[in-house]
């Protein structure tokens, strides 16, 4: 096995496309004027939070990367459901329904994408209730939006981590790298609905018990990239001990850090041992991997080695803060 230096990890992650393609998000915000007093939180969150009396409504959208669509349309369709359900779960919410916009250029691709979507619907128990079909596009694409809700006092934001908090991650290590898309780790497609529902509900349990200060689901930027987005949005930094990160047996750390895990969350908390315990009871492998600091940078540590992965004073992940 090749020994990883911390510099090589930092350099690989800094140029990892899963992270770099988030960079232009912040530039768009000027086009989206803030014109509603019902919106509690919006960009930078996994889902927007809208005031609706005692509850909040959660609204999110996710598109499937064309690279994934080309590699495996059925897996892409399944992932469209997976990532949207996670966007609501990460906020401490319950998913209600989805709508989709499907653009297709062949009946075979349509069928494959929709078979994947159907499998996702059945696996996670969230219906698609409408949408739009472009039957004649020169490309294939699938965009899905999701509606959810949460108790107003149980909602988990990305923007509220505070210096002194612990950083805890939770993942399902029981899976394999997807054969047709090597930066996806599939821990869900062979699990039963009850197991997945228990894993997914871990964040709602944490939110309702007010055990976390912030949280996010681990998406395409990988575990540290997702943490970077959370820290940037919160206006803070963190120090992470790489040796504390739970890693599947079959993978090395660098590959794992570029992986979209089937089921994974990163949270900040004042009560890491209780949070690790709650995640564990919901069937996820959780660990305290670091702490939030005031300095706006994400620093990684491995034994005696240290390196800065992101310096938010200079770098940007999304540019949202």
Residues across the chain: 321
Question: Binders of a second copy: how many residues, by CB under 8 A?
Answer: 62
HSE-CB of 177 using CA atoms within 13 angstroms: 16
| Residues within window 61-80 making contact with a second copy, judged by CB under 8 A | 61-63, 65-66
8 A C-beta contact, residue 167 and residue 268 = yes
Find the shortest distance in angstroms from Cβ 24 to a second copy: 5
Residue tagged 């997807």 (tokens): 178
Q: DSSP class of residue 116?
A: H
Site membership for a second copy, residue 103 (CB under 8 A): yes
Q: Rounding to the nearest 10 degrees, give the CA dihedral for residues 247, 82, 17, 60.
A: -130
**CA 252 – CA 309 distance, rounded (Å):** 18
Structure tokens at 36: 């509603």
Q: Which residue, 47 or 211, has its beta carbon nearer to a second copy?
A: 47
The site map against a second copy for 131-170 (x = CB under 8 A) is: xxxxxxxxx-x-x-x-x-x---------------------
HSE-CB of 192 using CA atoms within 13 angstroms: 2
| Residues within window 81-100 making contact with a second copy, judged by CB under 8 A | 96-97, 99-100
Structure tokens at 130: 């409408």
Q: Which of 9, 10, 13, 48 binds a second copy (CB under 8 A)?
A: 48
Q: Which residue, 126 or 300, has its beta carbon nearer to a second copy?
A: 126
Find the shortest distance in angstroms from Cβ 17 to a second copy: 8
Pairing of strands 128-134, 94-103: parallel
Find the shortest distance in angstroms from Cβ 157 to a second copy: 13
Site of interaction with a second copy (CB under 8 A): 21, 23-25, 28, 31-36, 38-39, 42-43, 45, 47-48, 50, 52, 57, 59-63, 65-66, 96-97, 99-103, 110, 114-115, 117-118, 121-122, 125-139, 141, 143, 145, 147, 149
């Amino acid at each position: 096995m090749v020994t990883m230096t911390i510099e090589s990890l930092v350099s690989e992650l800094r140029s990892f496309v899963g992270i770099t393609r988030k960079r232009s998000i912040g530039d768009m915000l000027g086009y989206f004027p803030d014109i509603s007093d019902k919106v509690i939180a919006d960009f930078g969150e996994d889902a927007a939070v809208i005031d609706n009396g005692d509850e909040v409504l959660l609204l999110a959208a996710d598109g499937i990367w064309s690279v994934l669509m080309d590699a495996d349309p059925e897996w892409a369709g399944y992932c469209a459901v997976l990532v949207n359900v996670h966007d609501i779960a990460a906020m401490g919410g319950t998913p209600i329904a989805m709508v989709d916009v499907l653009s297709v250029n062949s009946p075979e691709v349509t069928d494959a994408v929709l078979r994947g979507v159907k499998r996702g619907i059945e696996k996670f128990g969230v219906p698609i209730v409408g949408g739009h079909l472009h039957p004649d596009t020169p490309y294939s694409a699938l965009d899905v939006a999701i509606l959810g809700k949460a108790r107003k006092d149980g909602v988990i934001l990305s923007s509220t981590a505070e210096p002194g908090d612990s950083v805890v991650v939770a993942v399902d290590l029981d899976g394999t790298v997807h054969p047709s898309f090597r930066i996806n780790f599939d821990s869900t497609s062979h699990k039963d609905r009850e197991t997945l529902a228990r894993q997914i509900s871990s964040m709602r349990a944490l939110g309702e018990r007010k055990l976390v200060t912030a949280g996010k689901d681990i998406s395409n930027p990988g575990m540290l990239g997702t943490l970077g987005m959370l820290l940037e949005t919160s206006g803070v930094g963190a120090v992470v001990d790489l040796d504390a990160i739970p890693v599947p047996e079959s993978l090395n750390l660098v590959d794992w850090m570029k992986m979209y895990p089937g089921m994974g969350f990163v949270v900040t908390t004042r009560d890491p041992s209780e949070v690790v315990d709650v995640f564990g009871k919901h069937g996820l492998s959780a660990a305290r991997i670091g702490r939030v600091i005031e300095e706006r940078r994400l620093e990684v540590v491995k034994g005696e080695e240290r390196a800065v992965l992101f310096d938010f004073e200079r770098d940007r992940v999304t540019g949202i803060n």
